[in-house]
């Protein structure tokens, strides 16, 4: 919903792809050139184990999970999600890690 150049999401804006899903939810101030939102990135773990581990800051765990995934195969469909805060001006927003899911 937009009021006076400020757009507030009623539900997340979703981008869905074969290797990841992205959701953006929050306030976009077009007049003040600011954003205050939460960004949720979801990766299928079975396809993206090394990437998921790097996103949460654990590259050593990524290697171990990759080996486990190769042993187990695609028998278990798992997903890893991480949430970020996006705040600041459009030209230079600060993106900070909030939490993994």
C-alpha to C-alpha distances, 9 to 13, 45, 58, 72, nearest whole angstrom? 7, 28, 32, 40
> Domain of 92?
2-100
CA–CA separation, 39 and 51 (whole Å) = 17
pLDDT digits over 14-50, tens only? 999 877 899 999 999 999 999 999 999 987 765 555 5
Query: Residue 42's pLDDT is what?
Result: 86
Question: What is the reported pLDDT for 99?
Answer: 81
pLDDT reported for residue 57:
60
At 63 the pLDDT is: 62
Could you tell me which of 55, 62, 49 has the C-alpha nearest to residue 99?
55
Residue 5 confidence (pLDDT) above 60 = yes
Number of structural domains found in the chain: 1
pLDDT at 61: 60
């Amino acid at each position: 919903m937009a009021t006076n150049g400020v757009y507030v999401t009623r539900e997340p804006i979703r981008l869905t792809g074969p290797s990841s899903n992205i959701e953006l939810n929050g306030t976009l101030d077009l007049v003040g050139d600011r954003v205050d939102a939460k960004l949720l990135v979801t990766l299928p773990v079975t396809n993206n184990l090394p990437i998921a581990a790097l996103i949460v800051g654990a590259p050593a765990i990524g290697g171990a999970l990759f080996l486990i995934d190769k042993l187990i195969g695609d028998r278990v469909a798992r997903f890893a999600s991480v949430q970020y805060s996006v705040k600041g001006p459009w030209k230079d927003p600060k993106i900070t890690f909030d939490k993994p899911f």
